[in-house]
């Protein structure tokens, strides 16, 4: 090719070849784009643990496998269970509040979960087509789970090699290297810091709410504990207010219920408030957040990104929206001033 084309033409031809290859690869990966994004999140969430295991194991495969089995799989199981129960309780809440229009948004998810409750034989007896749809959905989610775990595993095992290759390839382009390094730092902040903080706080809140529900008199405990716990987790990054936006109004509701009904004693709202203030407000703020969260990203913007990402991209938007935010803010801070 070099004898037939000039240097510039040869370079342009190789660019076309590269773009064509990238197009085919992108087309193949598009079907599992959400799983790739979640795999990226899982990699960042597990990376601190993997760094410590690397010091104990000489073989990179052993360290990566141990990290995925000890951290990654349990995280996915807990998140999956919380999501399933949370969707059900959210649907129950909308039904109790007579918000039928909002129930339409969660109906596709609820219908699949309701179908699974009937059992395999019940589904076969009632509707074969629904069995086919459910089987297809389970296969698709199994493939997504495989992609998530595979992406996280190989990123853990080979991330240093990838970073070394990138630095060697773009050694003459310091701006590109600096840009990618800052993107990595911000993704660590969002994934390892904020999302893990949300998950840890939400898990603590769910446990606390179930415990309080056991202490309360029958029929007067915490309604929708999983849904309320997930809201507490998300509220950890609400600027200034934090999870007070959740447990203050719910305490007021419990106080109102204790004054208007004879079934709820006043000691339960007081206990709920004190336990929430210590176990959910003070502990995550001073222990969990201080250990995990760091960086210069605006928390209000991060929160907005989680919400808009979920609305714009669907279930995986919670994980992909922050990626868009990171690239946008990093480009605006690092690259745009050099272009003006």
DSSP output for 220-280: -S-SSHHHHHHHHHHHTTSTTTTTHHHHHHHHHHHHHHHHH-SSS-THHHHHHHHHIIIII
Distance of alpha carbon 199 from alpha carbon 178, whole angstroms = 30
For the stretch 257-291, pLDDT in tens is 887 776 777 888 888 888 888 888 777 666 665 55
pLDDT band of 20, cuts 50, 70, 90 = very high
pLDDT band of 293, cuts 50, 70, 90 = low
Could you tell me which of 258, 159, 199, 237 has the C-alpha nearest to residue 71? 199
Residue 333 has pLDDT above 80, yes or no: yes
Is the distance from CB of 285 to CB of 279 less than 8 angstroms? no
Indicate whether this model's pTM tops 0.85.
no
Return the pLDDT at 133.
65
Is the distance from CB of 203 to CB of 235 less than 8 angstroms? no
Return the pLDDT at 3.
56
User: Residue 270 has which token pair?
Assistant: 């007081």
Return the pLDDT at 106.
55
Share of the chain above pLDDT 70, in %: 74
User: Residue 52 has which token pair?
Assistant: 């410590």
The torsion defined by the Cα of 309, 314, 315 and 320, in degrees rounded to 10, comes to: -40
Residue 301 has pLDDT above 80, yes or no: no
Q: Which of 52-61, 79-88, 171-180 tops mean pLDDT? A: 171-180
Residue matched to tokens 């309360």: 216
User: What would the mean pLDDT of 167-174 be, rounded to a whole number?
Assistant: 86
Residue 212 has pLDDT above 70, yes or no: yes
User: What would the mean pLDDT of 299-328 be, rounded to a whole number?
Assistant: 81
Q: DSSP letter at 298?
A: -
Return the pLDDT at 139.
79
Q: Which residue has the higher pLDDT, 108 or 21?
A: 21
Poorest-pLDDT segment among 65-74, 245-254, 293-302: 293-302
Q: Residues 128, 132, 135, CA angle at the centre, nearest 5°?
A: 135
Residue 59 has pLDDT above 50, yes or no: yes
Q: Which of 129-143, 144-158, 197-211 tops mean pLDDT? A: 144-158
Residue 97 has pLDDT above 80, yes or no: no
Residue 101 has pLDDT above 50, yes or no: yes
Return the pLDDT at 219.
65
Poorest-pLDDT segment among 136-140, 154-158, 250-254: 136-140
User: What would the mean pLDDT of 96-100 be, rounded to a whole number?
Assistant: 59
Measure Cα distances from 51 to 163, 233, 300 in Å.
15, 26, 30
Return the pLDDT at 53.
85
Residue 251 has pLDDT above 70, yes or no: yes
What per-residue string of b and e applies to 78-104 under the rule 16 or more CB within 10 Å gives b? Answer: eeeebeebbbbbbbebbeeeeeeeebe
What mean pLDDT is reported for the chain?
77
pLDDT band of 21, cuts 50, 70, 90 = very high
Residue 123 has pLDDT above 60, yes or no: no
Poorest-pLDDT segment among 20-34, 91-105, 158-172, 210-224: 91-105
């Amino acid at each position: 090719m070099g004898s037939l084309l000039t240097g510039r033409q040869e370079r342009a031809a190789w660019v076309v070849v590269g773009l064509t290859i990238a197009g085919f690869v992108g087309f193949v990966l598009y079907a599992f784009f959400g799983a790739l994004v979640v795999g990226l999140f899982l990699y960042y969430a597990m990376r601190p643990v993997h760094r410590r295991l690397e010091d104990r194991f000489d073989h990179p495969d052993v360290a990566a496998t141990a990290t995925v089995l000890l951290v990654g799989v349990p995280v996915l199981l807990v998140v999956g269970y919380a999501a399933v129960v949370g969707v059900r309780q959210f649907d129950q809440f909308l039904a109790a509040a007579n918000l039928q229009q909002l129930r339409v948004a969660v109906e596709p998810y609820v219908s699949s979960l309701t179908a699974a409750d009937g059992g395999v034989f019940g589904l076969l007896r009632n509707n074969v087509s629904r069995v086919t749809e459910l089987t297809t959905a389970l296969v698709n989610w199994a493939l997504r789970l495989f992609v998530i775990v595979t992406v996280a595993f190989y990123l853990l095992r080979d991330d240093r090699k990838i970073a070394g290759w990138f630095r060697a390839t773009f050694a003459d382009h310091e701006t590109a290297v600096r840009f990618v390094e800052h993107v990595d730092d911000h993704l660590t902040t969002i994934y390892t810091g904020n999302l893990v903080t949300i998950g840890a706080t939400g898990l603590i809140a769910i446990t606390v709410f179930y415990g309080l529900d056991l202490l309360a008199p029958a029929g007067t405990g915490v309604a929708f504990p999983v849904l309320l716990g997930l809201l507490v987790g998300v509220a950890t990054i609400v600027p200034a207010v934090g999870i007070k936006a959740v447990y203050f109004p719910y305490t007021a509701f419990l106080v109102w219920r204790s004054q208007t009904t004879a079934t709820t004693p006043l000691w339960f709202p007081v206990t709920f408030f004190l336990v929430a203030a210590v176990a959910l407000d003070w502990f995550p703020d001073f222990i969990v957040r201080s250990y995990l969260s760091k960086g210069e990203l605006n928390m209000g913007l991060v929160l907005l990104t989680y919400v808009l990402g979920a609305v714009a991209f669907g279930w995986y938007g919670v994980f992909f929206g922050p990626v868009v935010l990171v690239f946008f803010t990093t480009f605006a801070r690092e690259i745009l001033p050099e272009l003006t």
